[in-house]
Homo-oligomer: A and B are copies of this chain.
Amino acid sequence: MKKAVVLMSGGLDSCVTAGIASLDYELYFLHVNYGQKTEKRELKSFNDLYKHFNGRDKLIVDIGYLKKIGGSSLVDDKENIEAGNVERKDIPRTYVPFRNGNILSIGVSWAEVIGAQKIFIGAVAEDSSGYPDCRKEFYDAFNEVLKVGLKPETELSIETPIIDMTKSEIVKIGSELNVPFHLTWSCYKNETKACGVCDSCLLRLRGFEKAGIKDPIPYDKVNSSVED
């Protein structure tokens, strides 16, 4: 069976992406701790999902330097995670500069060594927080880098199967694939009960709501504005 590296944060999107990738590939799970506030909870989800999907191997990497570099409320201990606003047009403070470039690069190094043909990432462009490194153009450009930056015999490319989907479409596909939503974690802020108010919770809740499917994870508070 062909091999694929799956970049697995432990959230909804990467879980559904793993479900899609598992149809055709033997999965190698990569998780990156970068100093995000919910690092421990994400890692638990990662390990649970690795077991669930019967991954062939896993790699957990610590890149504390993104926290040292800073520039994001997701990694800065002095800055609070702001309440979400899924209608905003500018890039929120939760954006971690070039985070996905760093994570992809790690995945590329691993994939080339193990001989994987694909790297799956659950990036979502439209129904998201507007991060520049979640858009299709970014992955298209990165794929061009892979054509020229690896050994001539390496055939590796990035797959973004859910990039053009809305959150509700992602939830629906995940449901059809029977992925374990209860094992995932999306909240930027809390580690026991999801906060229900950060961007990531808002987008997730709205996705489940619109899909008509109940989100099985516990929430501290569900803002009624996302439920209309």
**A98 B147 Cβ-Cβ under 8 A:** no
Q: Does A102 contact B (CB under 8 A)?
A: yes
Copies in the complex: 2
Supposing A59-B68, A105-B98, A109-B102 touch, asked if A132 and B149 sit within 8 A by C-beta, the answer is: yes
**B59 A69 Cβ-Cβ under 8 A:** yes
What count of chain A residues pass the 8 Å CB interface test?
A: 42
A14-22, A135-143, A184-192, A205-213 - interface stretch: A135-143
**A145 B101 Cβ-Cβ under 8 A:** yes
Contact surface of A with B, Cβ cutoff 8 Å: 59, 61-63, 65-66, 68-71, 91, 95-102, 104-106, 108-110, 112-113, 132-133, 135, 137-138, 141-142, 144-145, 147-152
Q: Which 7 pairs of residues, A with B, have the shortest CB-CB distance?
A: A71-B113, A97-B112, A137-B148, A141-B145, A61-B65, A102-B105, A138-B149
